[in-house]
A and B are shown apart, each in its own frame.
Chain A
């Protein structure tokens, strides 16, 4: 079986500048494979080339070089679009249609007819949580509501592969939760989801694998645990203890922070042998409230990688 999504050396140059057009490389030899059933998080800061990649996959843009395949067929193949859903970044649909009319229009384009159209439209609107607003013209829709309509239209055909460009943008916390649950539901049904985001917590809860794109280049890809596992940053121990032990805590930990509830937070170095420290503390009469490893978060990783890439770039330009 071929991969659900596959790109090989996918590259896109935009020409920028009106009088002296010169190429600007928005995507640089992206080679990527997403297996069927995966939820893949495509991460990167603003301007990294995420939207460009998604548009290349949907053949809204033509690549400068390289190729993209979806479900084993070239991107842009009309038969593939029948099996794919796509949500654009900050989508816009027609002002003059109601949500229901828009979705009925798209459902007919997918080849559905008659009563099937209405049941599908009603179902996806329920799924994204649009209630009686479905009879309103889209002109009146807020950003978040439009985003939901966008999600609904991407789900109309029960896609095998779903592409979502910043699906959480414009949504309130409730809406985010909703989308998260929706994606988890799709994953359970075996749908492949490829979504871009610059918000890392989304990826942390949803993705089986992520790719990190910085300035058009894929700088890392793999399971989150692999990308982040290599670095244990220390241990956090919360203890409750008497005043005389309190004075000595500094000898055990790198930092000692009194908490508002009277407990004390100790930050231990990665090589601090927490068993020994905890044993010692309990022997001296302290009560251990909790102990947690501190791992690198995706955010730490992100800051580090983006910083490094940007740094390399400026030094290159200076040379």
Chain B
């Protein structure tokens, strides 16, 4: 276990010294600029847009980090052969994969936390600028703590995407891994449609395939509760709980696959 944490620590350090700080800065600047512009244009009416935009930006920036750094952490090591140094230490290949994964998830968590702080900072500022009448018109307060529910689920989704990226990068090239991961991410958000598709087609074989895909492909739609929290609609605790449990199960399966593949690999 200690070995896994040591590898995770190094992976964290690597990604922090890589591009992550800059994406965070970009995020913060974009947030500020967007909210300033919108508040100028609409006189603070559209707090919802800012809330939505912020959460969407967190998802997208998180996705970029998860995919590109997630793939880079393993495939770069293999490509540049730094993996030789590591795997000739008393480190099993399973420990290598798990350590990399934990390091990356930690990076994402830290990153998302910073973005969340910036997000609430902007909302707090907007709240201060608004008049009493404007505040009365909002369905939910500006710095609504329930927004955190959406952030937690974004984190859950990113943890799944990271595991997908890592799994692909254990056997395919960085470019292919990125494309496959993004492909799965897109399909993951439309996975629910496969269910309906299955019901409308009359060809049994096609229906069977659709059902198979439905169970194998990640189902990412439940992680998206942005609209609900922004518009003050309820998100049940059991939805959050089950979704996170699903994330854990899916991640576990992906990591088992990643380790199984990575164990058999030749490093040339």
Does B239 sit at the interface, judged by CB under 8 A?
no
Q: Is the pair A88, B85 in contact by a Cβ cutoff of 8 Å?
A: yes
**Binary A-proximity of B205-236 (CB < 8 A = 1, otherwise 0):** 00000000000000000000000000000000
Distance to closest chain B CB from A115 (angstroms):
17
Does A81 sit at the interface, judged by CB under 8 A?
yes
Residues on A with C-beta less than 8 A from B18 are 96
- In the complex, A78→B93 CA distance in Å? 10
Distance to closest chain B CB from A5 (angstroms):
15
Q: Is the pair A60, B266 in contact by a Cβ cutoff of 8 Å?
A: yes
Residues on B with C-beta less than 8 A from A106 are 85, 89
Does A153 sit at the interface, judged by CB under 8 A?
yes
Question: Which partner residue on chain A sits nearest B81 by CB separation?
Answer: A92
Q: Is the pair A58, B88 in contact by a Cβ cutoff of 8 Å?
A: yes
Query: A84-B88, A109-B90 known; A60 and B13 CB under 8 Å?
Result: no
Residues on A with C-beta less than 8 A from B268 are 14, 55, 61
Q: Is the pair A60, B3 in contact by a Cβ cutoff of 8 Å?
A: no
Does B84 sit at the interface, judged by CB under 8 A?
yes
Query: A60-B267, A91-B84, A109-B6 known; A96 and B89 CB under 8 Å?
Result: no
Q: Is the pair A92, B6 in contact by a Cβ cutoff of 8 Å?
A: no
- In the complex, A4→B17 CA distance in Å? 41
Residues 62-86 of B at the A interface (beta carbon under 8 Å): 80-86
Q: Is the pair A82, B266 in contact by a Cβ cutoff of 8 Å?
A: no
- In the complex, A235→B152 CA distance in Å? 84
Does A79 sit at the interface, judged by CB under 8 A?
yes
Query: A91-B84, A94-B82 known; A105 and B6 CB under 8 Å?
Result: yes
Residues on A with C-beta less than 8 A from B266 are 60-62
- Contact partner, A88, options B10, B14, B84, Cβ 8 Å: B84
Residues on B with C-beta less than 8 A from A110 are 89-90
Does A108 sit at the interface, judged by CB under 8 A?
yes
Interface size class of B (residues with CB under 8 A): 20 to 34
Residues on B with C-beta less than 8 A from A78 are 90-92
Question: Which partner residue on chain B sits nearest A83 by CB separation?
Answer: B90
Q: Is the pair B88, A81 in contact by a Cβ cutoff of 8 Å?
A: yes
Does B248 sit at the interface, judged by CB under 8 A?
no
Does A262 sit at the interface, judged by CB under 8 A?
no
Interface residues on chain A, number (Cβ under 8 Å): 28
Does A301 sit at the interface, judged by CB under 8 A?
no
Query: A61-B266, A62-B264, A79-B90 known; A108 and B6 CB under 8 Å?
Result: yes
Residues on B with C-beta less than 8 A from A153 are 85
By CB atoms of chain A within 10 A, which of B85, B86, B87, B91 has the most?
B85
Distance to closest chain B CB from A7 (angstroms):
17
Question: Which partner residue on chain A sits nearest B6 by CB separation?
Answer: A108
**Binary B-proximity of A67-97 (CB < 8 A = 1, otherwise 0):** 0000000000011011010101011111011
- In the complex, A97→B9 CA distance in Å? 12
Distance to closest chain A CB from B62 (angstroms):
22
Does A111 sit at the interface, judged by CB under 8 A?
yes
Q: Is the pair A86, B88 in contact by a Cβ cutoff of 8 Å?
A: yes
Residues on A with C-beta less than 8 A from B87 are 58, 60
Q: Is the pair A55, B267 in contact by a Cβ cutoff of 8 Å?
A: yes
**Binary B-proximity of A32-63 (CB < 8 A = 1, otherwise 0):** 00000000000000000000000100101110
Residues on A with C-beta less than 8 A from B6 are 105, 108-109
- In the complex, A150→B7 CA distance in Å? 19
Distance to closest chain B CB from A82 (angstroms):
5
Q: Is the pair B88, A105 in contact by a Cβ cutoff of 8 Å?
A: no
Q: Is the pair A109, B82 in contact by a Cβ cutoff of 8 Å?
A: no
- In the complex, A58→B7 CA distance in Å? 19
- Contact partner, A86, options B3, B10, B84, B264, Cβ 8 Å: B84
Question: Which partner residue on chain A sits nearest B17 by CB separation?
Answer: A96
Query: A86-B84, A96-B13, A153-B85 known; A109 and B91 CB under 8 Å?
Result: yes
Residues 1-23 of B at the A interface (beta carbon under 8 Å): 3, 6-7, 10, 13-14, 17-18
- Contact partner, A93, options B82, B89, B92, Cβ 8 Å: B82
- In the complex, A86→B267 CA distance in Å? 15
Question: Which partner residue on chain A sits nearest B267 by CB separation?
Answer: A60
- In the complex, A14→B268 CA distance in Å? 9
- In the complex, A105→B8 CA distance in Å? 11
Q: Is the pair A91, B81 in contact by a Cβ cutoff of 8 Å?
A: yes
Question: Which partner residue on chain B sits nearest A84 by CB separation?
Answer: B88
- In the complex, A55→B83 CA distance in Å? 12
- In the complex, A115→B10 CA distance in Å? 19
| 10 pairs, CB–CB < 8 Å, chain A vs chain B | A60-B87, A62-B264, A79-B90, A81-B91, A92-B82, A96-B18, A105-B6, A109-B7, A110-B90, A153-B85
Residues of B within 8 A of A (CB): 3, 6-7, 10, 13-14, 17-18, 80-92, 264, 266-268
Task: Knowing that A55-B84, A92-B81 touch, tell me 15 more A-B residue pairs with CB under 8 angstroms.
Answer: A14-B268, A55-B267, A58-B88, A60-B87, A60-B267, A61-B266, A61-B268, A82-B90, A84-B88, A90-B81, A94-B10, A106-B89, A108-B6, A109-B91, A110-B90
